[in-house]
Amino acid sequence: MKKTKFLAVFAGIISALPCAGSAAYPVYNPQQLARQGYVINTYPQQQQIVRPTTGYVYNPQQMAGRTNITPQQMAAASAVNGRPMATYTAAANPNRVTGSLPRVGSSATNAGRQYYQSSDYNRLAESGLYVGLSAGYTTMLNGSMSADYAGEDKAFFAPGSFRASDFKSDNIIPLQVSVGAAINSDIRIDFSYLRYSGMSYASDVQTFTGEEYANASVSGGAITSNSTMLNVYYNIDSFTGYMMGGALRPYVGAGVGLSLNTIADYVVFDNTFYDETGGLGPGGIAAGGLTGISDVYAYHNGGTMEQFAFALEGGVTTDMNDGLKLDFFIRYANLGKVKTSGSIIVSQTEWLSDGAGDEYEAPYDSVFHYTNWYESGTLSTVDVGVRLRLEF
């Protein structure tokens, strides 16, 4: 008897499992729905699934959240509202990115350009105010000095650079301070102050004797340039792609502004002896007459000019975190013209005839003053350097 009861209970459990399974994991195919009392109403190109007790009609929105709804059931439910079923297909190459990846950019359509959270890579959220300080080294100084008074009558009496003479340079270390803001991830604008020193007038020049050119030595003539510019920079990794896994962003920039160029006083020394006898020699000149000139010193007063200036720059930027960035750059700067004040004082030694066929040095100083006799030249440089920027 006990065995019979046990078998009966066991048979009841086994028979109840399909019902429990259907309740826990409904499949909703037509056969199961029919067995459970649901009515399937079929219309041309439409189908409704109606629960018999409530007349409730399943719609696609409700069914979309169910993972056990078949595509046929979704189609039937979608047709209830007169809307075709949306077809969802898995992407062949999912583009969802997880984790922190070292890549940068601003366009999802360009190869190698992807966006990530700024908390992971601050360079990707480059915006806001910043201050910068740069130091460089001038690898090339272009320009030369020449005498604007070359066409003046008897201009050789004021020695200077009658043939263009290249500027002299020692170690030129241009320094720049900038204040600006990044407009977005690709464009930034700043206002900068740029100073050059370590340049000077040439050490030796070719001066004119009236008939030919002679060598003359120069001392002094230090040159400085102070420029203020408005600069615009643009990151070009949308064209080049990311570099070093996104650690470097290439950029180009241009700036325009004004430069204040100053040249200090300098002296040109011409040790050529100039014969003033017309070929007769001291014996052909009366006593006390001028026979020659030597040791000519020309004191050129310096000057300051305000000039239009511009710069072109290219480089790469890297992020040091905590708002610090480094720009490694190469820059061409055209600083305009440097020019003297036009005032030249000439001191020379004169020789006089003694009337006996010989000559002697005059006991007085011979000094002349020339005005509006300028010397000038154009300054431009090619620099390499590094800029440290702190973003706020």
For residue 22, the model assigns a pLDDT of: 42
For residue 88, the model assigns a pLDDT of: 43
- Quick one: pLDDT band at residue 356, thresholds 50, 70, 90? confident
Tell me, yes or no, whether 73 and 154 share the same domain. Answer: no
The domain that holds 147 is classified in CATH as: 2.40.160.20
The reply to whether 15 falls in a domain is yes
**Residue where one domain finishes, among candidates 58, 80, 102:** 80
* Element spanning 237, H or E: helix 237-240
Q: Does residue 244 surpass a pLDDT of 80?
A: no
- Quick one: pLDDT band at residue 251, thresholds 50, 70, 90? very high
CA dihedral sign of residues 361, 365, 370, 376: positive
Tell me, yes or no, whether 65 and 144 share the same domain. Answer: no
**Domain of 360?**
127-391
Q: Residues 315, 251: contact at Cβ < 8 Å? A: yes
Q: In the predicted model, what is the mean pLDDT of residues 263-281?
A: 92
Q: Residues 160, 202: contact at Cβ < 8 Å? A: no
**Residue where one domain finishes, among candidates 49, 65, 80:** 80
Tell me, yes or no, whether 75 and 136 share the same domain. Answer: no
The reply to whether 120 falls in a domain is no
Q: Is 86 exposed, middle or buried (0-12, 13-18, 19+ CB in 10 A)?
A: exposed
Q: How many domains in the chain?
A: 2
- 172-182 pLDDT, tens digit each: 999 999 999 99
Joined together, the tokens standing for residue 235 give 């990151």
- 187-208 pLDDT, tens digit each: 999 999 999 999 999 999 999 9
Q: Is 201 exposed, middle or buried (0-12, 13-18, 19+ CB in 10 A)?
A: buried
Tell me, yes or no, whether 24 and 160 share the same domain. Answer: no
**Residue 240 DSSP symbol:** H
